[in-house]
Amino acid sequence: MFKTIVLLSVLSFAVAGCQISDPGRAIIGAAAGAAIADSTGQNDALGAGAGAVAGLIIK
């Protein structure tokens, strides 16, 4: 269920793009990074951190 919510968030992020504030992009990126890390067996915290940074960079 969590992964489905994250995937929907990522799709919403792609559609809304610039309409989301910086903290919002960081939160969505962190959730997506954690879900991807979890599904690939990697460290969730590192995935969340990388996702948050990516969310802030991508505008």
pTM (2 decimals)?
0.63
Q: What letter represents residue 23's amino acid?
A: P
pLDDT of 1: 54
Residues 35/2, Cβ–Cβ less than 8 Å: yes
Six token digits for residue 53: 């940074």
Domain range spanning residue 20? 2-57
If one counts the domains in the chain, the total is 1
pLDDT higher than threshold 80 for residue 2: no
- Write down how long the chain is: 59
What are the angstrom distances between the C-alpha of 59 and each of 3, 13, 33, 55? 23, 10, 17, 8
Compute the distance between CA of residue 36 and CA of residue 9 in angstroms, rounded to an integer.
13
The model's pLDDT over 11-52, given as tens digits with 9 standing for 90+, comes to: 666 655 556 677 877 887 888 888 878 777 888 788 888 888
